[in-house]
């Protein structure tokens, strides 16, 4: 059903249907995706928190929805979730600020 | 002193206190409109309809709905204001069945079963029947609620009772949010008292298992991972040990259904349950190996059907006329709440039902 919003929470449930228009690539993607989140050198719990932080830096509403719920299912506390979000935010703001060095280099070159 | 979160739906005279209203909600809306398949249609896809019992393994007896807690998501709608308590006469009828049942597990539940005035007598008598696994579902805080309950760990030990206790999380905040202020601290003290008499210690025959159910509108995570996290946190923070963790899915009935509707999570939760449907879990759902007995002696396929007043579809409907062979020939009554037992790895009073 059409909505007036670009993002519809119900669309998250349809994510799997992307495979219908490209079975090979869709299947490969979902196989890869589920493999990535399996327990490995990192625990599935740690991966869930990383995914939550990245969901925020990517500002993906679907991902935030999914990985908040995933965290709750794993018993992750809201304090742990917020710390993960701050890690993402710190990297995001740091990534902005570190470009200040480029600005400083340019100023120094042109007007030093 | 525990701070009770609320009153039971019955006390509040909520329409959801009525089983009929709950069943209407579970059959209408997204299920009536065809957005989601009914449970009957779903299990029929794999030729598992009608659901039939297998060998009886567990006799679960609910000795009353009275409880010292009023937890957010209680499927029993238990609380101090519930007066339904099994009488000694019904207990005597249960004892006759316990003596001859082929079930290997006897599972006493409530409410807080310890609040039944004849609880200790009943445990004493039932333990003489020599059933292999004798479970009492204790909410833990009852052990610390009143001096008369302080010796329960020793009492359980003397009767070789297998203690199964609810513990929603290893942190105070999440536990008290679901079960009431003060529940976490009292539960910790109770677990330490159980450990002190030998319960839950690795290698000990005194079994202590914990039950985890989610604090909100989401499904439980992987049972083994949760168990590791619980064990690590409870040991490090409080020196507490236990044997196994059972991860149980909240079924959309009673107070949890009330919460889902009030928080506008009902449809999303039902979608979650249906999307997580696992056909492999169907053949092991607990209604296939359990008989549930209510405080007034009626028989049900499971504790959830008991709360929905869905008595067994059998000529034998009451403990007074109990006959295992006749009961084994029944069809199990299902509705959309059954999706709660078939989501993911499946869910039962003994935790997940498939690997």
Per-residue pLDDT of chain B (355 residues; tens, 9 = 90+): 566 667 899 999 999 999 999 999 999 999 998 999 999 999 999 999 999 999 999 999 999 999 999 988 899 999 999 999 999 999 999 999 999 999 999 999 999 999 999 999 999 999 999 899 999 999 999 999 999 999 999 999 999 999 999 998 898 888 888 888 889 999 999 999 999 999 999 999 999 999 999 989 999 999 999 999 999 999 999 999 999 999 999 999 999 999 999 999 999 999 999 999 999 999 899 999 999 999 999 999 999 999 999 999 999 999 999 999 999 999 999 999 999 999 988 888 888 887 5
Name which of A70, A73, A81 to mutate to probe chain B: the one with the most chain B Cβ atoms within 10 A of its Cβ: A73
The structure tokens listed for A63 are 């991902």
Element (H, E) at B133: strand B133-138
Q: Do A69 and B218 touch (CB under 8 A)?
A: yes
Domains and CATH numbers, chain B: 15-47+58-341 (3.20.20.70)
Domains and CATH numbers, chain A: 20-111 (1.20.1290.10)
CA B132 to chain centre: 20
CA–CA gap between residue A70 and residue B219 (Å, rounded): 9
* Chain A to chain B Cβ contacts (< 8 Å): 34
- B243 close to B209: Cβ distance less than 8 angstroms: yes
Q: Do A74 and B218 touch (CB under 8 A)?
A: no
CA–CA gap between residue B301 and residue B289 (Å, rounded): 9
Q: What is the pTM of this model?
A: 0.90
- A44 close to A38: Cβ distance less than 8 angstroms: yes
- The three-state DSSP-derived secondary structure of B87-125 is CHHHHHHHHHHHHHCCCCEEEEECCCHHHCCCHHHHHHH
H-only helix segments in B101-250: 119-127, 141-145, 152-158, 172-179, 183-196, 223-238
Q: Do A13 and B271 touch (CB under 8 A)?
A: yes
CA–CA gap between residue A98 and residue A90 (Å, rounded): 12
CA–CA gap between residue B242 and residue B191 (Å, rounded): 9
Interface ipTM: 0.78
């Amino acid at each position: 059903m059409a909505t007036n919003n670009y993002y519809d929470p119900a669309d998250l449930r349809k994510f799997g249907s992307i495979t219908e228009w490209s079975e090979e690539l869709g299947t490969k993607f979902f196989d890869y995706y589920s493999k990535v989140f399996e327990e490995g050198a990192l625990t599935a719990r740690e991966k869930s928190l990383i995914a939550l932080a990245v969901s925020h830096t990517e500002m993906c509403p679907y991902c935030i929805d999914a990985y908040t719920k995933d965290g709750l299912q794993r018993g992750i506390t809201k304090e742990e979730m917020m710390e993960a979000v701050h890690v993402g935010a710190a990297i995001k703001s740091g990534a902005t600020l570190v470009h200040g060095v480029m600005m400083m280099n340019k100023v120094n070159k042109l007007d030093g | 002193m525990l701070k009770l979160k609320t009153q039971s739906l019955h006390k509040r005279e909520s329409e959801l206190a009525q089983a009929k209203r709950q069943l209407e909600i579970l059959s209408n809306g997204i299920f009536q409109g065809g957005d989601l398949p009914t449970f009957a249609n779903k299990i029929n896809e794999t030729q598992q309809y009608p659901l039939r019992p297998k060998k009886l393994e567990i006799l679960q007896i609910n000795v009353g709905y009275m409880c010292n807690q009023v937890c957010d998501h209680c499927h029993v709608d238990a609380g101090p204001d519930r007066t339904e308590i099994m009488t000694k006469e019904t207990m005597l009828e249960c004892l006759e069945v316990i003596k001859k049942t082929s079930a290997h597990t006897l599972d006493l539940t409530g409410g807080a079963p310890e609040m039944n005035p004849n609880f200790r007598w009943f445990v004493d008598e039932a333990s003489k029947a020599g059933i292999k696994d004798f479970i009492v579902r204790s909410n833990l805080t009852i052990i610390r609620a009143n001096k008369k309950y302080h010796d329960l760990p020793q009492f359980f030990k003397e009767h070789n009772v297998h203690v199964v206790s609810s513990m929603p999380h290893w942190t105070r905040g999440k536990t008290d949010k679901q079960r009431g202020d003060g529940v976490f601290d009292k539960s910790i003290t109770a677990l330490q008292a159980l450990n002190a008499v030998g319960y839950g210690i690795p290698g000990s025959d005194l079994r202590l298992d914990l039950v985890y159910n989610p604090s909100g509108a989401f499904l439980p995570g992987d049972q083994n991972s949760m168990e590791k996290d619980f064990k690590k946190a409870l040991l490090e923070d409080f020196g507490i040990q236990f044997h196994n963790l059972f991860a149980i899915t909240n079924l959309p009935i009673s107070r949890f259904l009330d919460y889902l509707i009030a928080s506008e999570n009902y449809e999303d939760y039902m979608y979650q349950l249906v999307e997580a449907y696992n056909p492999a879990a169907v053949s092991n759902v607990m209604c296939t190996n359990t008989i549930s007995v209510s405080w007034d002696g009626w028989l049900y396929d499971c504790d959830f059907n008991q709360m929905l007043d869905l008595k067994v579809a059998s000529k034998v409907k009451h403990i007074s006329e109990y006959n295992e062979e006749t009961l084994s020939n029944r069809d199990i009554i299902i509705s959309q709440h059954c999706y709660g037992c078939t989501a993911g790895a499946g869910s039962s009073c003994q935790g997940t039902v498939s690997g």
